[in-house]
A and B are shown apart, each in its own frame.
Chain A
Amino acid sequence: MALLKESDPRFVGIERKVGLFIFLAVAGIIAVVVFIGVQQEVFTPKAEIFFVAPGGQGINEGASVKLSGFVIGSVKKLSLDDVARVTVKLSINKKYMKWIKTDSTAKLVSEGLIGAGIIEISPGSPSAPELKDKGFLPFTRDKGIAGMAEELKDVIKPALFDIKNIIAFAANDPEGGIKVTLRNVSRLTGDLSTTRYKVDELIKDIDKAVLGISPRVANVLDTTNSAMGKVDVMVKKIDNDVGVSMKKVQGSLDKLDKSLENVRAGTEKVPSVLQNTDAVAQGTKEIVDSIKKIWPISSNIEKPKEKPLKVDSYE
Protein backbone atom coordinates (compact mmCIF):
# COMPACT_ATOMS: atom_id res chain seq x y z
CA MET A 1 0.00 0.00 0.00
CA ALA A 2 1.47 3.34 -1.07
CA LEU A 3 1.78 5.79 1.82
CA LEU A 4 2.07 8.85 -0.40
CA LYS A 5 -0.05 9.65 -3.42
CA GLU A 6 1.83 10.18 -6.66
CA SER A 7 -0.10 13.33 -7.22
CA ASP A 8 1.09 14.86 -3.92
CA PRO A 9 2.33 18.32 -5.02
CA ARG A 10 5.36 18.21 -2.69
CA PHE A 11 6.85 15.21 -4.51
CA VAL A 12 5.92 15.97 -8.09
CA GLY A 13 9.18 16.04 -10.08
CA ILE A 14 11.24 15.50 -6.89
CA GLU A 15 14.07 13.79 -8.80
CA ARG A 16 14.38 16.75 -11.17
CA LYS A 17 14.40 19.22 -8.28
CA VAL A 18 17.10 17.32 -6.36
CA GLY A 19 19.16 16.86 -9.51
CA LEU A 20 18.93 20.56 -10.31
CA PHE A 21 19.92 21.48 -6.75
CA ILE A 22 22.99 19.22 -6.80
CA PHE A 23 23.97 20.43 -10.24
CA LEU A 24 23.76 24.08 -9.14
CA ALA A 25 25.73 23.32 -5.96
CA VAL A 26 28.53 21.54 -7.84
CA ALA A 27 28.62 24.25 -10.50
CA GLY A 28 28.84 26.87 -7.75
CA ILE A 29 31.70 25.03 -6.04
CA ILE A 30 33.61 24.69 -9.31
CA ALA A 31 33.05 28.36 -10.07
CA VAL A 32 34.37 29.37 -6.64
CA VAL A 33 37.43 27.12 -7.03
CA VAL A 34 38.17 28.56 -10.47
CA PHE A 35 37.63 32.09 -9.19
CA ILE A 36 40.01 31.50 -6.28
CA GLY A 37 42.47 29.90 -8.63
CA VAL A 38 42.40 32.92 -10.90
CA GLN A 39 42.78 35.27 -7.89
CA GLN A 40 45.73 33.23 -6.60
CA GLU A 41 47.24 33.10 -10.10
CA VAL A 42 47.17 29.31 -10.19
CA PHE A 43 46.44 29.32 -13.93
CA THR A 44 48.99 32.01 -14.71
CA PRO A 45 51.96 30.63 -16.66
CA LYS A 46 55.07 30.70 -14.51
CA ALA A 47 58.80 30.31 -14.97
CA GLU A 48 61.29 28.94 -12.46
CA ILE A 49 64.65 30.48 -11.63
CA PHE A 50 67.19 29.61 -8.92
CA PHE A 51 69.86 30.99 -6.67
CA VAL A 52 72.25 29.38 -4.20
CA ALA A 53 72.75 30.83 -0.70
CA PRO A 54 75.25 29.88 2.02
CA GLY A 55 72.38 29.57 4.53
CA GLY A 56 68.56 29.65 4.57
CA GLN A 57 68.09 32.09 7.50
CA GLY A 58 65.39 34.63 6.69
CA ILE A 59 64.32 32.88 3.46
CA ASN A 60 60.88 31.29 3.74
CA GLU A 61 58.75 29.34 1.28
CA GLY A 62 55.95 31.55 0.01
CA ALA A 63 57.89 34.78 0.61
CA SER A 64 57.32 37.46 -2.02
CA VAL A 65 59.74 38.10 -4.86
CA LYS A 66 59.81 41.74 -5.92
CA LEU A 67 61.31 43.69 -8.77
CA SER A 68 61.38 47.50 -8.47
CA GLY A 69 58.94 47.18 -5.54
CA PHE A 70 56.41 45.16 -7.59
CA VAL A 71 55.49 41.57 -6.62
CA ILE A 72 56.45 39.30 -9.54
CA GLY A 73 56.50 35.88 -7.91
CA SER A 74 57.24 33.90 -4.79
CA VAL A 75 59.76 31.56 -3.18
CA LYS A 76 58.64 28.09 -4.21
CA LYS A 77 61.06 25.72 -2.54
CA LEU A 78 64.24 25.52 -0.46
CA SER A 79 66.49 22.47 -0.58
CA LEU A 80 69.80 21.58 1.03
CA ASP A 81 72.63 20.10 -1.03
CA ASP A 82 75.43 17.81 0.09
CA VAL A 83 77.77 20.62 1.07
CA ALA A 84 75.07 22.33 3.18
CA ARG A 85 74.35 25.12 0.70
CA VAL A 86 70.72 26.05 0.13
CA THR A 87 69.27 26.02 -3.40
CA VAL A 88 66.23 28.31 -3.60
CA LYS A 89 63.63 27.90 -6.36
CA LEU A 90 61.63 31.01 -7.31
CA SER A 91 58.33 30.91 -9.21
CA ILE A 92 58.02 34.01 -11.43
CA ASN A 93 55.07 35.11 -13.64
CA LYS A 94 56.25 34.63 -17.19
CA LYS A 95 55.15 38.11 -18.23
CA TYR A 96 57.76 39.63 -15.87
CA MET A 97 60.69 37.46 -17.05
CA LYS A 98 61.61 40.03 -19.71
CA TRP A 99 62.93 42.37 -16.97
CA ILE A 100 65.14 39.73 -15.41
CA LYS A 101 68.53 39.69 -17.16
CA THR A 102 71.61 37.48 -16.92
CA ASP A 103 73.34 40.21 -14.85
CA SER A 104 70.42 40.67 -12.43
CA THR A 105 71.03 39.75 -8.79
CA ALA A 106 68.79 38.32 -6.06
CA LYS A 107 69.02 39.96 -2.65
CA LEU A 108 67.39 39.09 0.67
CA VAL A 109 66.01 42.29 2.25
CA SER A 110 63.64 43.09 5.13
CA GLU A 111 60.42 44.97 4.45
CA GLY A 112 60.78 48.02 6.66
CA LEU A 113 63.26 48.05 9.54
CA ILE A 114 62.19 44.75 11.16
CA GLY A 115 59.75 43.36 8.60
CA ALA A 116 59.54 39.89 6.99
CA GLY A 117 62.25 38.85 4.55
CA ILE A 118 61.56 39.18 0.83
CA ILE A 119 63.67 38.54 -2.23
CA GLU A 120 64.47 41.68 -4.23
CA ILE A 121 65.64 41.11 -7.83
CA SER A 122 67.60 43.92 -9.50
CA PRO A 123 66.55 44.65 -13.11
CA GLY A 124 70.08 44.28 -14.60
CA SER A 125 71.43 46.26 -17.57
CA PRO A 126 69.07 46.84 -20.57
CA SER A 127 71.61 45.48 -23.08
CA ALA A 128 72.06 42.15 -21.25
CA PRO A 129 70.12 39.11 -22.53
CA GLU A 130 67.02 37.90 -20.66
CA LEU A 131 67.47 35.12 -18.13
CA LYS A 132 65.97 31.88 -19.40
CA ASP A 133 63.64 29.50 -17.58
CA LYS A 134 65.56 27.41 -14.97
CA GLY A 135 68.32 30.04 -15.05
CA PHE A 136 70.54 31.04 -12.12
CA LEU A 137 71.06 34.34 -10.34
CA PRO A 138 73.86 35.35 -7.97
CA PHE A 139 72.71 36.04 -4.39
CA THR A 140 73.53 38.68 -1.76
CA ARG A 141 72.10 39.36 1.69
CA ASP A 142 71.13 42.70 3.32
CA LYS A 143 72.86 43.47 6.61
CA GLY A 144 69.67 43.97 8.65
CA ILE A 145 69.38 45.43 12.16
CA ALA A 146 71.54 42.76 13.75
CA GLY A 147 74.38 43.48 11.31
CA MET A 148 74.15 47.25 11.85
CA ALA A 149 74.04 46.80 15.63
CA GLU A 150 77.10 44.56 15.45
CA GLU A 151 78.99 47.21 13.45
CA LEU A 152 77.99 49.97 15.91
CA LYS A 153 79.04 47.81 18.82
CA ASP A 154 82.49 47.29 17.29
CA VAL A 155 82.91 51.08 16.99
CA ILE A 156 81.41 52.17 20.31
CA LYS A 157 83.01 49.58 22.56
CA PRO A 158 86.65 50.55 21.92
CA ALA A 159 85.73 54.27 22.18
CA LEU A 160 84.06 53.72 25.57
CA PHE A 161 87.04 51.71 26.74
CA ASP A 162 89.42 54.51 25.74
CA ILE A 163 87.29 57.15 27.49
CA LYS A 164 87.23 55.04 30.65
CA ASN A 165 91.00 54.70 30.57
CA ILE A 166 91.45 58.44 30.08
CA ILE A 167 89.12 59.16 33.00
CA ALA A 168 90.92 56.66 35.21
CA PHE A 169 94.24 58.14 34.26
CA ALA A 170 93.12 61.73 34.78
CA ALA A 171 91.08 61.22 37.95
CA ASN A 172 92.74 58.44 39.84
CA ASP A 173 96.43 58.44 39.05
CA PRO A 174 98.07 60.74 41.55
CA GLU A 175 101.08 60.92 39.26
CA GLY A 176 98.87 61.72 36.25
CA GLY A 177 99.92 64.61 33.98
CA ILE A 178 97.04 66.95 34.83
CA LYS A 179 97.30 66.53 38.57
CA VAL A 180 101.06 66.95 38.52
CA THR A 181 100.73 70.14 36.47
CA LEU A 182 98.10 71.57 38.80
CA ARG A 183 100.15 70.60 41.80
CA ASN A 184 103.16 72.36 40.32
CA VAL A 185 101.17 75.48 39.56
CA SER A 186 99.86 75.47 43.10
CA ARG A 187 103.39 75.10 44.48
CA LEU A 188 104.62 77.87 42.21
CA THR A 189 101.98 80.27 43.35
CA GLY A 190 102.74 79.40 46.96
CA ASP A 191 106.43 79.99 46.35
CA LEU A 192 105.69 83.23 44.54
CA SER A 193 103.81 84.51 47.59
CA THR A 194 106.74 83.68 49.84
CA THR A 195 109.13 85.26 47.41
CA ARG A 196 106.99 88.31 47.19
CA TYR A 197 107.00 88.66 50.98
CA LYS A 198 110.75 88.37 51.13
CA VAL A 199 111.19 90.87 48.36
CA ASP A 200 108.83 93.11 50.24
CA GLU A 201 110.99 92.98 53.34
CA LEU A 202 114.10 93.54 51.32
CA ILE A 203 112.59 96.55 49.72
CA LYS A 204 111.74 97.99 53.07
CA ASP A 205 115.33 97.50 54.19
CA ILE A 206 116.66 98.99 51.01
CA ASP A 207 114.15 101.72 51.34
CA LYS A 208 115.44 102.61 54.68
CA ALA A 209 118.99 102.34 53.51
CA VAL A 210 118.70 104.40 50.40
CA LEU A 211 115.86 106.66 51.23
CA GLY A 212 118.19 109.34 51.96
CA ILE A 213 120.31 108.70 48.85
CA SER A 214 117.96 109.88 46.16
CA PRO A 215 114.25 110.62 45.84
CA ARG A 216 114.37 109.11 42.30
CA VAL A 217 115.55 105.79 43.67
CA ALA A 218 112.75 105.96 46.18
CA ASN A 219 110.33 106.50 43.32
CA VAL A 220 111.68 103.50 41.49
CA LEU A 221 111.30 101.46 44.56
CA ASP A 222 107.70 102.60 45.03
CA THR A 223 106.89 101.65 41.45
CA THR A 224 108.46 98.24 41.93
CA ASN A 225 106.45 97.80 45.07
CA SER A 226 103.16 98.53 43.34
CA ALA A 227 104.11 96.24 40.44
CA MET A 228 104.78 93.41 42.87
CA GLY A 229 101.40 94.14 44.44
CA LYS A 230 99.75 93.69 41.05
CA VAL A 231 101.65 90.41 40.50
CA ASP A 232 100.38 89.25 43.84
CA VAL A 233 96.79 89.97 42.81
CA MET A 234 97.29 88.16 39.51
CA VAL A 235 98.78 85.10 41.20
CA LYS A 236 95.87 84.94 43.64
CA LYS A 237 93.42 85.18 40.74
CA ILE A 238 95.22 82.39 38.84
CA ASP A 239 95.21 80.24 41.97
CA ASN A 240 91.49 80.83 42.41
CA ASP A 241 90.70 80.11 38.77
CA VAL A 242 92.68 76.88 38.80
CA GLY A 243 90.79 75.79 41.89
CA VAL A 244 87.43 76.49 40.24
CA SER A 245 88.50 74.66 37.05
CA MET A 246 89.66 71.65 39.08
CA LYS A 247 86.27 71.48 40.76
CA LYS A 248 84.48 71.61 37.39
CA VAL A 249 86.73 68.91 35.91
CA GLN A 250 86.16 66.71 38.94
CA GLY A 251 82.40 67.22 38.59
CA SER A 252 82.52 66.19 34.90
CA LEU A 253 84.63 63.16 35.73
CA ASP A 254 82.10 62.13 38.38
CA LYS A 255 79.23 62.40 35.88
CA LEU A 256 81.11 60.34 33.30
CA ASP A 257 81.87 57.74 35.93
CA LYS A 258 78.13 57.47 36.73
CA SER A 259 77.31 57.03 33.02
CA LEU A 260 79.81 54.20 32.73
CA GLU A 261 78.32 52.61 35.82
CA ASN A 262 74.87 52.70 34.14
CA VAL A 263 76.29 51.08 31.01
CA ARG A 264 77.90 48.39 33.17
CA ALA A 265 74.59 47.77 34.99
CA GLY A 266 72.76 47.53 31.65
CA THR A 267 75.15 44.93 30.25
CA GLU A 268 74.91 42.88 33.47
CA LYS A 269 71.21 42.31 32.69
CA VAL A 270 72.05 40.85 29.25
CA PRO A 271 73.07 37.35 30.50
CA SER A 272 69.74 36.91 32.36
CA VAL A 273 67.82 38.08 29.27
CA LEU A 274 69.79 35.57 27.21
CA GLN A 275 69.00 32.83 29.73
CA ASN A 276 65.28 33.61 29.51
CA THR A 277 65.49 33.62 25.72
CA ASP A 278 67.24 30.25 25.87
CA ALA A 279 64.43 28.80 28.05
CA VAL A 280 61.79 30.14 25.67
CA ALA A 281 63.67 28.69 22.70
CA GLN A 282 63.87 25.30 24.43
CA GLY A 283 60.13 25.36 25.14
CA THR A 284 59.41 26.31 21.54
CA LYS A 285 61.60 23.44 20.33
CA GLU A 286 59.62 20.98 22.46
CA ILE A 287 56.34 22.26 21.05
CA VAL A 288 57.67 22.12 17.48
CA ASP A 289 58.99 18.57 18.02
CA SER A 290 55.52 17.51 19.21
CA ILE A 291 53.78 19.20 16.27
CA LYS A 292 56.19 17.50 13.88
CA LYS A 293 54.81 14.12 14.94
CA ILE A 294 51.19 15.04 14.08
CA TRP A 295 49.75 14.09 10.71
CA PRO A 296 49.68 15.68 8.06
CA ILE A 297 52.71 17.69 9.18
CA SER A 298 54.78 14.56 9.91
CA SER A 299 54.35 13.28 6.36
CA ASN A 300 55.92 16.48 5.00
CA ILE A 301 58.99 16.43 7.22
CA GLU A 302 62.02 14.65 5.79
CA LYS A 303 63.24 11.84 8.03
CA PRO A 304 66.99 11.86 8.89
CA LYS A 305 68.69 9.70 6.29
CA GLU A 306 72.19 8.49 5.59
CA LYS A 307 73.52 9.48 2.18
CA PRO A 308 76.76 8.86 0.30
CA LEU A 309 79.10 11.87 -0.06
CA LYS A 310 78.67 13.61 -3.38
CA VAL A 311 81.50 12.76 -5.76
CA ASP A 312 81.91 15.20 -8.62
CA SER A 313 82.86 14.01 -12.09
CA TYR A 314 85.80 16.46 -11.78
CA GLU A 315 86.91 15.00 -8.41
Chain B
Amino acid sequence: MNRLGTALAVSFVFLAACGGGKLPAPSEASIRAAEEGKSALAAMKKGDHKRALAYYEEALNINRSVENTDGMAINLLNMAIVHGRSGDRLSAHRLIDGIVNTAMMDVSPAVVSEAAFYKAVLHFDSGQMDEAVKWADSSLSQCARADCKTSGRIYNLLARISIAGKDFAGALAVAERGWKLNKDSGDFEEEANSLRLMAEARSLGGNVHEAIRLYEEALLLDKAIGLSRKIALDLMGAGGALCRAGRAEEGKRYYERARSVGKGAVSEEIINKASEAIKACGGP
Protein backbone atom coordinates (compact mmCIF):
# COMPACT_ATOMS: atom_id res chain seq x y z
CA MET B 1 0.00 0.00 0.00
CA ASN B 2 2.83 2.42 0.82
CA ARG B 3 4.42 1.85 -2.59
CA LEU B 4 1.03 2.15 -4.28
CA GLY B 5 0.27 5.36 -2.46
CA THR B 6 3.67 6.80 -3.32
CA ALA B 7 3.22 5.83 -6.98
CA LEU B 8 -0.18 7.54 -7.10
CA ALA B 9 1.14 10.69 -5.45
CA VAL B 10 4.09 10.89 -7.83
CA SER B 11 1.85 10.36 -10.86
CA PHE B 12 -0.48 13.18 -9.77
CA VAL B 13 2.43 15.54 -9.34
CA PHE B 14 3.77 14.51 -12.73
CA LEU B 15 0.39 15.16 -14.37
CA ALA B 16 0.18 18.59 -12.73
CA ALA B 17 3.65 19.43 -13.92
CA CYS B 18 2.88 18.27 -17.48
CA GLY B 19 0.70 21.31 -18.14
CA GLY B 20 3.17 23.66 -16.52
CA GLY B 21 5.29 24.49 -19.54
CA LYS B 22 5.56 28.24 -20.06
CA LEU B 23 5.35 29.50 -23.62
CA PRO B 24 7.95 32.06 -24.65
CA ALA B 25 6.55 35.59 -24.18
CA PRO B 26 6.11 37.73 -27.32
CA SER B 27 8.97 40.14 -27.94
CA GLU B 28 8.73 43.82 -27.10
CA ALA B 29 8.97 44.64 -30.82
CA SER B 30 6.08 42.39 -31.80
CA ILE B 31 3.92 43.84 -29.00
CA ARG B 32 4.68 47.40 -30.16
CA ALA B 33 3.98 46.49 -33.76
CA ALA B 34 0.68 44.86 -32.77
CA GLU B 35 -0.26 48.03 -30.80
CA GLU B 36 0.47 50.19 -33.86
CA GLY B 37 -1.75 47.86 -35.88
CA LYS B 38 -4.56 48.28 -33.33
CA SER B 39 -4.24 52.08 -33.55
CA ALA B 40 -4.33 51.86 -37.34
CA LEU B 41 -7.49 49.78 -37.21
CA ALA B 42 -9.11 52.35 -34.91
CA ALA B 43 -8.15 55.13 -37.35
CA MET B 44 -9.62 53.12 -40.24
CA LYS B 45 -12.89 52.76 -38.34
CA LYS B 46 -13.07 56.57 -38.06
CA GLY B 47 -12.29 56.91 -41.79
CA ASP B 48 -8.90 58.57 -41.18
CA HIS B 49 -6.91 56.74 -43.89
CA LYS B 50 -3.92 59.04 -43.67
CA ARG B 51 -3.40 58.35 -39.97
CA ALA B 52 -3.95 54.60 -40.50
CA LEU B 53 -1.21 54.59 -43.16
CA ALA B 54 1.14 56.34 -40.73
CA TYR B 55 0.51 53.69 -38.05
CA TYR B 56 0.98 50.82 -40.51
CA GLU B 57 4.22 52.37 -41.74
CA GLU B 58 5.47 52.56 -38.16
CA ALA B 59 4.54 48.91 -37.61
CA LEU B 60 6.32 48.02 -40.88
CA ASN B 61 9.50 49.74 -39.68
CA ILE B 62 9.36 47.94 -36.35
CA ASN B 63 9.05 44.58 -38.15
CA ARG B 64 11.83 45.57 -40.53
CA SER B 65 14.12 46.32 -37.58
CA VAL B 66 13.78 42.71 -36.35
CA GLU B 67 13.54 41.16 -39.86
CA ASN B 68 10.07 39.75 -39.22
CA THR B 69 9.09 39.02 -42.85
CA ASP B 70 5.54 37.95 -42.05
CA GLY B 71 4.97 41.12 -40.05
CA MET B 72 6.40 43.23 -42.89
CA ALA B 73 4.16 41.46 -45.43
CA ILE B 74 1.05 41.93 -43.27
CA ASN B 75 1.68 45.66 -42.92
CA LEU B 76 2.44 46.09 -46.63
CA LEU B 77 -0.83 44.32 -47.39
CA ASN B 78 -2.74 46.50 -44.94
CA MET B 79 -1.25 49.65 -46.46
CA ALA B 80 -2.26 48.36 -49.90
CA ILE B 81 -5.82 47.85 -48.66
CA VAL B 82 -5.93 51.38 -47.22
CA HIS B 83 -4.73 52.80 -50.57
CA GLY B 84 -7.28 50.66 -52.40
CA ARG B 85 -10.11 51.92 -50.21
CA SER B 86 -8.93 55.50 -50.77
CA GLY B 87 -9.16 54.92 -54.55
CA ASP B 88 -5.40 54.76 -55.22
CA ARG B 89 -5.26 51.38 -56.99
CA LEU B 90 -1.80 51.97 -58.46
CA SER B 91 -0.20 52.28 -55.03
CA ALA B 92 -2.17 49.26 -53.84
CA HIS B 93 -0.89 47.11 -56.73
CA ARG B 94 2.66 48.32 -56.18
CA LEU B 95 2.64 47.38 -52.49
CA ILE B 96 1.12 43.95 -53.09
CA ASP B 97 3.60 43.17 -55.87
CA GLY B 98 6.27 43.52 -53.20
CA ILE B 99 4.73 40.51 -51.42
CA VAL B 100 3.52 38.21 -54.20
CA ASN B 101 6.40 38.64 -56.63
CA THR B 102 8.76 36.94 -54.14
CA ALA B 103 10.63 40.12 -53.47
CA MET B 104 10.34 39.04 -49.84
CA MET B 105 11.52 35.62 -48.66
CA ASP B 106 9.90 33.34 -46.12
CA VAL B 107 6.49 34.96 -46.14
CA SER B 108 3.95 32.42 -44.91
CA PRO B 109 1.48 31.01 -47.48
CA ALA B 110 -1.47 32.36 -45.47
CA VAL B 111 -0.26 35.94 -45.91
CA VAL B 112 0.60 35.40 -49.59
CA SER B 113 -2.91 34.00 -50.06
CA GLU B 114 -4.44 37.15 -48.52
CA ALA B 115 -2.28 39.35 -50.76
CA ALA B 116 -3.19 37.38 -53.88
CA PHE B 117 -6.88 37.57 -52.94
CA TYR B 118 -6.75 41.35 -52.64
CA LYS B 119 -4.92 41.60 -55.97
CA ALA B 120 -7.77 39.56 -57.50
CA VAL B 121 -10.31 41.96 -55.93
CA LEU B 122 -8.46 44.98 -57.37
CA HIS B 123 -8.45 43.42 -60.86
CA PHE B 124 -12.15 42.51 -60.57
CA ASP B 125 -13.05 46.09 -59.62
CA SER B 126 -11.11 47.33 -62.65
CA GLY B 127 -12.97 44.89 -64.94
CA GLN B 128 -9.86 42.79 -65.69
CA MET B 129 -11.53 39.40 -65.26
CA ASP B 130 -8.75 37.18 -66.63
CA GLU B 131 -6.23 38.67 -64.22
CA ALA B 132 -8.78 38.43 -61.42
CA VAL B 133 -9.29 34.69 -62.05
CA LYS B 134 -5.54 34.10 -62.22
CA TRP B 135 -4.92 35.78 -58.85
CA ALA B 136 -7.96 34.16 -57.23
CA ASP B 137 -6.63 30.72 -58.24
CA SER B 138 -3.21 31.65 -56.88
CA SER B 139 -4.84 32.69 -53.61
CA LEU B 140 -6.71 29.35 -53.42
CA SER B 141 -3.56 27.30 -53.91
CA GLN B 142 -1.66 29.30 -51.24
CA CYS B 143 -4.65 28.94 -48.92
CA ALA B 144 -4.61 25.16 -49.42
CA ARG B 145 -0.88 25.12 -48.57
CA ALA B 146 -1.56 27.07 -45.39
CA ASP B 147 -4.66 25.01 -44.53
CA CYS B 148 -6.48 28.32 -44.00
CA LYS B 149 -10.21 28.68 -43.34
CA THR B 150 -10.93 31.58 -45.73
CA SER B 151 -11.20 29.71 -49.02
CA GLY B 152 -14.99 30.22 -49.00
CA ARG B 153 -14.41 33.93 -49.58
CA ILE B 154 -12.25 33.20 -52.63
CA TYR B 155 -15.01 31.02 -54.11
CA ASN B 156 -17.41 33.91 -53.59
CA LEU B 157 -15.14 36.16 -55.64
CA LEU B 158 -14.89 33.51 -58.36
CA ALA B 159 -18.70 33.30 -58.38
CA ARG B 160 -18.89 37.10 -58.90
CA ILE B 161 -16.44 36.77 -61.79
CA SER B 162 -18.57 34.01 -63.35
CA ILE B 163 -21.72 36.13 -63.04
CA ALA B 164 -19.90 39.03 -64.73
CA GLY B 165 -18.95 36.60 -67.50
CA LYS B 166 -22.66 35.49 -67.80
CA ASP B 167 -21.84 31.90 -66.74
CA PHE B 168 -24.77 31.62 -64.29
CA ALA B 169 -24.72 27.84 -63.86
CA GLY B 170 -21.00 27.91 -63.14
CA ALA B 171 -21.47 30.83 -60.74
CA LEU B 172 -24.16 28.89 -58.85
CA ALA B 173 -21.92 25.84 -58.42
CA VAL B 174 -18.98 27.93 -57.21
CA ALA B 175 -21.17 30.02 -54.85
CA GLU B 176 -22.66 26.83 -53.34
CA ARG B 177 -19.17 25.53 -52.70
CA GLY B 178 -18.23 28.82 -51.09
CA TRP B 179 -21.40 28.77 -48.97
CA LYS B 180 -20.58 25.34 -47.49
CA LEU B 181 -17.02 26.41 -46.66
CA ASN B 182 -18.13 29.72 -45.10
CA LYS B 183 -20.82 28.00 -43.05
CA ASP B 184 -18.34 25.46 -41.71
CA SER B 185 -15.77 28.12 -40.83
CA GLY B 186 -18.36 30.28 -39.05
CA ASP B 187 -17.79 33.34 -41.28
CA PHE B 188 -21.32 34.77 -41.21
CA GLU B 189 -20.61 37.76 -43.46
CA GLU B 190 -19.22 35.61 -46.25
CA GLU B 191 -22.00 33.06 -45.73
CA ALA B 192 -24.49 35.88 -46.42
CA ASN B 193 -22.42 36.91 -49.46
CA SER B 194 -22.59 33.32 -50.76
CA LEU B 195 -26.38 33.25 -50.32
CA ARG B 196 -26.68 36.54 -52.19
CA LEU B 197 -24.53 35.22 -55.06
CA MET B 198 -26.57 32.02 -55.25
CA ALA B 199 -29.71 34.16 -55.33
CA GLU B 200 -28.28 36.33 -58.13
CA ALA B 201 -27.29 33.27 -60.16
CA ARG B 202 -30.76 31.76 -59.69
CA SER B 203 -32.45 35.00 -60.61
CA LEU B 204 -30.42 35.49 -63.78
CA GLY B 205 -31.01 31.83 -64.61
CA GLY B 206 -34.77 32.41 -64.46
CA ASN B 207 -35.69 30.87 -61.09
CA VAL B 208 -37.22 33.89 -59.34
CA HIS B 209 -38.97 32.02 -56.51
CA GLU B 210 -35.76 30.34 -55.34
CA ALA B 211 -33.84 33.61 -55.81
CA ILE B 212 -36.22 35.51 -53.49
CA ARG B 213 -35.97 32.77 -50.88
CA LEU B 214 -32.16 32.98 -50.94
CA TYR B 215 -32.18 36.80 -50.83
CA GLU B 216 -34.46 36.66 -47.77
CA GLU B 217 -32.09 34.20 -46.09
CA ALA B 218 -29.11 36.45 -46.79
CA LEU B 219 -31.14 39.42 -45.53
CA LEU B 220 -31.83 37.67 -42.19
CA LEU B 221 -28.12 37.07 -41.66
CA ASP B 222 -27.09 40.59 -42.68
CA LYS B 223 -29.75 42.11 -40.38
CA ALA B 224 -28.50 40.04 -37.45
CA ILE B 225 -24.93 41.23 -38.14
CA GLY B 226 -26.15 44.79 -38.72
CA LEU B 227 -24.50 45.75 -42.04
CA SER B 228 -26.54 48.44 -43.82
CA ARG B 229 -24.70 48.18 -47.15
CA LYS B 230 -25.25 44.43 -47.37
CA ILE B 231 -28.90 44.74 -46.33
CA ALA B 232 -29.38 47.23 -49.15
CA LEU B 233 -27.64 44.86 -51.60
CA ASP B 234 -30.00 42.02 -50.58
CA LEU B 235 -33.07 44.24 -51.01
CA MET B 236 -31.85 45.63 -54.33
CA GLY B 237 -31.12 42.10 -55.55
CA ALA B 238 -34.61 40.90 -54.64
CA GLY B 239 -36.12 43.98 -56.28
CA GLY B 240 -34.11 43.39 -59.44
CA ALA B 241 -35.16 39.73 -59.61
CA LEU B 242 -38.84 40.65 -59.34
CA CYS B 243 -38.62 43.53 -61.82
CA ARG B 244 -36.93 41.30 -64.41
CA ALA B 245 -39.70 38.71 -63.91
CA GLY B 246 -42.34 41.35 -64.70
CA ARG B 247 -43.52 41.76 -61.06
CA ALA B 248 -42.82 45.46 -60.99
CA GLU B 249 -44.94 46.44 -57.95
CA GLU B 250 -43.30 43.86 -55.71
CA GLY B 251 -39.89 44.78 -57.07
CA LYS B 252 -40.43 48.49 -56.40
CA ARG B 253 -41.38 47.73 -52.78
CA TYR B 254 -38.00 46.09 -52.26
CA TYR B 255 -36.26 49.06 -53.89
CA GLU B 256 -38.19 51.43 -51.58
CA ARG B 257 -36.98 49.44 -48.60
CA ALA B 258 -33.41 49.67 -49.89
CA ARG B 259 -33.79 53.45 -50.30
CA SER B 260 -35.08 53.69 -46.73
CA VAL B 261 -32.05 51.75 -45.48
CA GLY B 262 -29.83 54.15 -47.45
CA LYS B 263 -31.49 57.16 -45.78
CA GLY B 264 -31.02 55.63 -42.35
CA ALA B 265 -27.37 54.90 -43.07
CA VAL B 266 -26.91 58.36 -44.71
CA SER B 267 -25.50 56.73 -47.84
CA GLU B 268 -26.02 58.79 -51.00
CA GLU B 269 -24.74 55.88 -53.08
CA ILE B 270 -27.48 53.50 -51.89
CA ILE B 271 -30.19 56.16 -52.15
CA ASN B 272 -29.22 57.07 -55.71
CA LYS B 273 -28.95 53.47 -56.88
CA ALA B 274 -32.33 52.60 -55.34
CA SER B 275 -33.96 55.68 -56.91
CA GLU B 276 -32.55 54.82 -60.35
CA ALA B 277 -33.71 51.24 -59.97
CA ILE B 278 -37.25 52.36 -59.09
CA LYS B 279 -37.35 54.56 -62.20
CA ALA B 280 -36.01 51.74 -64.38
CA CYS B 281 -38.66 49.41 -62.94
CA GLY B 282 -41.36 51.85 -64.01
CA GLY B 283 -41.73 54.00 -60.91
CA PRO B 284 -41.79 57.81 -60.35
Please list the residues of chain A having a beta carbon within 8 angstroms of any beta carbon in chain B.
Answer: 18, 50-52, 82-85, 87, 102, 134, 136-138, 295-296, 298-299, 303-309, 311-315
Contact = CB atoms under 8 A, between A and B. Distances in A.
A295 B81 contact: no
Given A138-B223, A313-B160, A308 B22 contact: no
Nearest to B62: A306
A312 B178 CA distance: 13
26 contacts: A51-B224, A52-B188, A87-B188, A138-B224, A295-B20, A295-B21, A299-B23, A304-B38, A306-B30, A306-B34, A306-B71, A308-B77, A308-B78, A308-B111, A308-B114, A309-B82, A311-B117, A311-B118, A311-B121, A312-B190, A313-B157, A313-B160, A314-B196, A314-B230, A315-B84, A315-B125
Given A298-B22, A308-B74, A136 B44 contact: no
Contacts of B41: 82, 84, 309
B9 interface: no
Given A306-B74, A307-B37, A312 B224 contact: no
Contacts of A298: 22-23
Given A295-B22, A314-B193, 4 more contacts: A136-B188, A138-B223, A313-B193, A314-B230
Contacts of A314: 156, 160, 193, 196, 230, 233
A70 B123 CA distance: 54
Interface in B27-48: 30-31, 33-35, 37-38, 41, 44-45
A28 to B, nearest CB: 15
A52 B224 contact: yes
Contacts of A295: 19-22
Contacts of B193: 312-314
Interface in B151-192: 153-154, 156-157, 160, 178, 183, 186, 188-190
A18 B225 contact: no
B280 interface: no
Interface in B50-98: 59, 63, 71, 74-75, 77-78, 81-82, 84
B284 interface: no
Contacts of B224: 50-52, 136-138
A315 B220 contact: no
Interface string B1-38: 10010000000000000011111011000110111011
A52 B226 contact: yes
Given A52-B226, A295-B19, A309 B78 contact: yes
A308 B193 CA distance: 20
B144 interface: no
Contacts of A303: 25-26
